Structure 1
Amino acid sequence: MGDFGYSFEGYDPTRHVRASLREKQISHKHAREISLHIRGMTVEKARDFLQAVIEKKRAVPFRRFKRQVGHRSDPGVMAGRYPEKSAAEFIKLLDNLESNAEYKGMDLDRLTIVGAVAHKGILIKRFIPRAMGRSTPKNNVLTHVELVAREA
């Protein structure tokens, strides 16, 4: 595994805490939309939101990748979906972030997410054999997610 850095600028080890998820098989589009939505929330509020997404009570608003996405009845959400697999991975990442904050001696109730970023990871190339000696590519893009929180 390579040496990874963080894209968050202005990191102060005394005020900030960070956690990352590397090379996960989740949709980078879903991860981007979740990251955009939970930025600015407290950790508890973000966890409640992600639990509601898994239970299909709240939808994640899609802002960039919204073509052919149906509208939802949530207030303030036009196009949206319920990315359960990505939401479950984000909950694990929030648990990791809280553990890191607890290790640093920070107050968990005052943590606010100030940086949430999703990047495309490596491309896993595979091929499906077809008739007449042909093959069809089946590619899988892994995803990196970074969270940075600040004690308010």
Structure 2
Amino acid sequence: MIGTPGSGFYTVAMALDYERAFMGKYTRLSRDFDALVQCCKQIEADGHSLFEDPLIKDRLVRMHTDIERLRLLCLKSAWMIDQGKVPTAEASAQKVLASELEQRVADEGIQILGGFGQLERESPHAPMKGRLAQSWLIAPMLRFGGGANEIQRDIIAQRGLGLPRA
């Protein structure tokens, strides 16, 4: 037996908090975003790189800002764990932001790169080795793994903000 009798649910819930506080989501998103920026610098349309288009720059800046928010949430969760605290609301916020950001980076990247962004890794012409297309396919599932985002929002409301149960 793990823990004390009758505390199994709490033990599993705490284990899920640690799972949600995983930094790998940030590193993958950051790597894919950096690759997208490089593609935008290299690909030209109408004699200019995509990176020079003000609308694309705006999209990239918004994604970068959200990825930085995720990094800070990851660091806060890591700090809390280091302090012996369980990052329940923080890990839930991290999970929601990461899963929704994964979808957004894939969507925006495919829109920016056009048809090439939809190519999978088997294609020699696929930018970023097809990671955008792969992320686009996987992203919807991430909203459910480790607890659905709607449940995570309830956890944030109750345990993070002290709001009553809905």
Q: If the length of structure 2 is used for normalisation, what is the TM-score?
A: 0.26
Q: Which has the higher contact order (CA 8 A, sep 6+)?
A: 1
Larger radius of gyration: 2
Task: State the TM-score, normalizing by the size of structure 1.
Answer: 0.28
More helix by share: 2
Which structure's residues are more often strand, by fraction? 1
